[in-house]
Amino acid sequence: MKRISLSRYLVEQQRVDGRIPPQLRLLLEVVARACKHISHSVNKGALGDVLGTASSENVQGEVQKKLDIIANEVLIEANEWGGHLAAMASEEMEGIYVVPNRYPQGEYLLLFDPLDGSSNIDVNVSIGTIFSVLKMPEGDRGVDEGDFLQAGKQQVAAGYCVYGPQTTLVLTVGDGVAMFTLDREQGSFVLVQENVQIPADTKEFAINMSNMRHWDAPVKRYVDECLAGKEGPRGKDFNMRWIASMVADVHRILTRGGIFMYPWDKREPEKPGKLRLMYEANPMGWLVEQAGGAATNGRERILDIQPTKLHERVSVILGSKNEVERVTRYHLDPSSPA
């Protein structure tokens, strides 16, 4: 079998099809290198003194794990001198990080959730890094937070790297989804699947069921109908999975289909959801759409949402198209039949 490395894949995307400019290719190479570095730290675990909690909180008031901070630093350092970026934003940093002393200013903005699935770090369950790339607005001189507030449909690249039994980087530049697994002996990511497709139908749902009593009626209805199985309105039995790492749940959905939901609930009614629009929902939403699936907040397409702040939260429903459309329909028209 001919092995195609991520570098070669990106060069082909640039040269053969002109799908990505050279600067974006170089940026994606740097992000992949940072993910490889994070993967090594994750692998060392207790031996590398990377487990456990740091004594700090992030901007959302969440306790930071040592690996949250390490992964954030790796991504900042890797990209600081690359020359393709104007600025970065991270779930773990309050404000944006402007790339210093660059003239001319880099063309791109990088956003990331450095370590997704923090509660799984110490228990040796899959975690990951999620990233999204935007272009600096045309003619903009001097970068500020407002430049990041672009809808998800403006992304020019998005992906994640899952640190599981294998380390796999999943990427879209707007021409389908490709997967690359890290070959540790060679030190490079190797293409393992191109043109990833999510089946439109599924019998598998993912939601944190412990929040059931807090859900909104349309979500409760959807899950109740799944739980009713063969005898219920859906006429088939469903299976459930919840890994509590969005990367790992989305990776399963890209591999074999399914629906993932982290909906708004009554615990903190003023918050639109738990997950973050810019670091989680947008990149994952675009990957899922690029693989033939759908992503909404229950009412509208995630990628159409105009962000109003960097750390904005959102309700997320994504995965197999027909299921996502069903849950969205239950929100928009509660009296519609199953």
Interface with Mn ion by CB under 5 A: which residues? 91, 113, 115-116
Least distance (Å) from ligand AHG to the CB of residue 230? 28
Beta strands 127-135; 157-163: pairing state: antiparallel
CA–CA distance, 69 with 81 (Å, rounded to integer):
20
Q: Is 6 annotated as a binding residue?
A: no
80: number of CA atoms within 13 Å, CB side?
9
119 is an interface residue for ligand AHG by CB under 6 A: yes
245 is an interface residue for ligand AHG by CB under 6 A: yes
The residue from 39, 90, 118, 297 that contacts ligand AHG (CB under 6 A) is 118
116 is an interface residue for ligand AHG by CB under 6 A: yes
Least distance (Å) from ligand AHG to the CB of residue 250? 9
Partner from Mn ion, ligand AHG, none binding residue 245, C-beta < 5-8 Å depending on class: ligand AHG
Q: Is 66 annotated as a binding residue?
A: no
CA–CA distance, 54 with 127 (Å, rounded to integer):
18
Q: Is 117 annotated as a binding residue?
A: yes
- Residues, the chain, total? 338
The structure tokens listed for 177 are: 């989804």
Least distance (Å) from Mn ion to the CB of residue 37? 17
Which stretches of the chain are assigned E, i.e. beta strand? 53-57, 63-65, 85-90, 97-98, 108-116, 127-135, 157-163, 167-172, 177-183, 188-193, 204-206, 239-240, 259-262, 275-276, 294-296, 313-314, 316-319
CA–CA distance, 334 with 298 (Å, rounded to integer):
12
CA-based torsion, 154, 176, 132, 323: positive or negative:
positive
CA–CA distance, 206 with 144 (Å, rounded to integer):
37
Least distance (Å) from ligand AHG to the CB of residue 278? 12
113 is an interface residue for ligand AHG by CB under 6 A: yes
**What is the torsion angle, in degrees rounded to the nearest 10, for the CA atoms of residue 82, residue 88, residue 92 and residue 94?**
140
Q: Is 106 annotated as a binding residue?
A: no
Report phi then psi at 129, rounded to 5: -120, 135
CA–CA distance, 226 with 232 (Å, rounded to integer):
8
Residue type at position 35: C
208 is an interface residue for ligand AHG by CB under 6 A: yes
Between 92 and 147, whose beta carbon lies closer to ligand AHG?
Answer: 92
Q: Is 113 annotated as a binding residue?
A: yes
265 is an interface residue for ligand AHG by CB under 6 A: no
Least distance (Å) from ligand AHG to the CB of residue 95? 18
CB of 118 within 8 A of CB of 60? Answer: no
Segment interacting with ligand AHG (CB under 6 A) among 111-119, 147-155, 264-272, 283-291: 111-119
Q: What is the DSSP letter of 337?
A: -
Between 53 and 208, whose beta carbon lies closer to ligand AHG?
Answer: 208
Between 68 and 289, whose beta carbon lies closer to ligand AHG?
Answer: 68
**Cross-strand bridge partners of residue 159:** 131, 171
Q: Which residues 215-244 are close enough to bind ligand AHG by CB under 6 A?
A: 244
Q: Which residues 121-180 are close enough to bind ligand AHG by CB under 6 A?
A: none
Binding positions for ligand AHG, rule: CB under 6 A? 91, 113, 116-119, 208, 244-246, 262, 274
Binding residues for substrate: 116-119, 208, 274
Which residues are annotated as part of the binding site? 91, 113, 115-119, 208, 274, 280
